[in-house]
A and B are shown apart, each in its own frame.
Chain A
Amino acid sequence: MKLEFYKNTHLVIASLGSLFLLGLEFPYWFLSMISVVFIWRYFGEKKVILLPSAWITNSLALILFVAVLAGYKTLFDRDSSSLFFSCLCALKILEYKNRRDHLFIVLLLMLLISSKFLFSIDIWILPVTLWLIYHLWLSLISCHSEKSTLPSASKIYFLKIALLSLPLTIALYFMFPRLNSYLLNSNLSSRGSAVTGFGNEIRPGSISQLAQSQELIFRAEIIKSVYIDRQQLYWRGLVLRSTDGFRWYQGPPAKDITLVQNSPEFVDYKMTVEPNQQKWLFPLDRPLQMTSSLPLLRTRDGLYQTSVSIDHRTSFRAQSNLSLTLRPEDEKNYLKIPIQSPRILKLIEALKGKSLAREKIVQNIKNYFVDQNFLYTLSAGEMNEHSLDDFLFKAKKGYCEHFSSSFAILARAAGVPARVVIGYQGGEFNSIGNFYTVRAQDAHAWNEYVNDRGDWVPIDLVDVVAPVRTALGTAEFLKLPENLRGLIMKRNSSDESFLFVAYDYLSTYMDSLNFYWTQWLLDFNLDRQSELFESLPAASPVFLILFIIFIFIGFKIRFYWTHRNNWPQYFYKQLLNWANKRHLAKKPSEGPSNFVQRLQEKWPANSDDFGVIVQNYVNFTFADIPLSLRDLKNIRESLRRIESITNSDTYQ
Chain B
Amino acid sequence: MKIALAGNPNSGKTSLFNAITGKIEHVGNWSGVTVEKKEGDVKQNLNPRNEDLVVVDLPGAYSMSPYTSEESITRDFVQNENPDVIINIVDSTNLSRSLFFTTQLLELGIPVIVALNKSDLTDKKGNTIDVPALSDALKCPVILTSATKSSDNGLPKLIDAVITLGKSNKKQIPPSIYGVKKASTKEEFEKADKKRYAFVNNVVTEVERRKVSSEKQTLQDKVDRIVAHKWLGIPIFAAIIWLVFSISQSWVGPLLADIFVGWIDVLYEGVASLLGEDVNPVLAALLLDGIIGGVGAVIGFLPLIMVLFFCLALLEDSGYMARVAIVLDRFFKKVGLSGRSIIPMIVGTGCGIPGIMSTRTIKNERQRRTTAMLTPFMPCGAKLPIIALFAGVFFGDNSWVGTSMYFLGIIVIIISALIIRKITGDYSKSYFIMELPEYRLPSLKRAAISVLMRAKAFIIKAGTIILVCNAAVQILQTFNWQFQVVAENAPETSILASIASPLAILFIPLGFGLWQFAAAAVTGFIAKENVVGTLAVCFSITNFIDVEELALVGGSAEVSTIFGITAVAGLSYLVFNLFTPPCFAAIGAMNSEMESRKWLLGAVGFQLGMGYTLAFLVYQLGTLLTTGSLGAGFIGGLVAVVLIVTYVGYLMRKGSKGKQISAGMRSVKV
The answer on A and B forming one complex is no
**Interface, chain A (partner B; CB < 8 A):** none
**Interface, chain B (partner A; CB < 8 A):** none
